[in-house]
Amino acid sequence: MKFRFPIGWRAAVLLLATPATPFAEPLGSAIAYQGRLTDGGAPANGTYEFRFTLFDAAVAGSKIGVTRTNAPVVVTDGVFTTAIDFGTGVFAGESRWLEVAVRTNGSAAAFTGLAPRQA
């Protein structure tokens, strides 16, 4: 006995098996960074400016690429999320460490570095 699938079933399988890559958007170079910020030992709230710099070492080392400053970044109950785009070519397989510095949004004060650098 021979079993035959309806024609519509074959069409459905063909559609499911077709790769979607021709319609995929190219990936950009931005990364999402989420962190916790405290102010005086309590979770921070408000808007802040964050400065991000890549290095090739956990301490000292050489700066990689350009420094990025994101502002305003909303911090709620100490939690924030922001996108960082160092461009292409900075993540080519070598280890990198992210140095983060922060200040209140719109402040003329110097940035306060957060330690340690993040691998």
Please, which residues have CB within 8 angstroms of residue 49's CB and are 6 or more apart in sequence? 69, 70, 71, 72, 73, 102, 103, 104, 105, 106, 107, 111
User: pLDDT tens digits for the chain (119 residues)?
Assistant: 554 545 544 444 444 444 555 566 667 889 999 999 999 999 999 999 999 999 999 999 999 999 999 999 999 999 999 999 999 888 889 999 999 999 999 999 999 999 999 99
User: Cβ(113)–Cβ(101) under 8 Å?
Assistant: yes
User: Cβ(67)–Cβ(26) under 8 Å?
Assistant: no
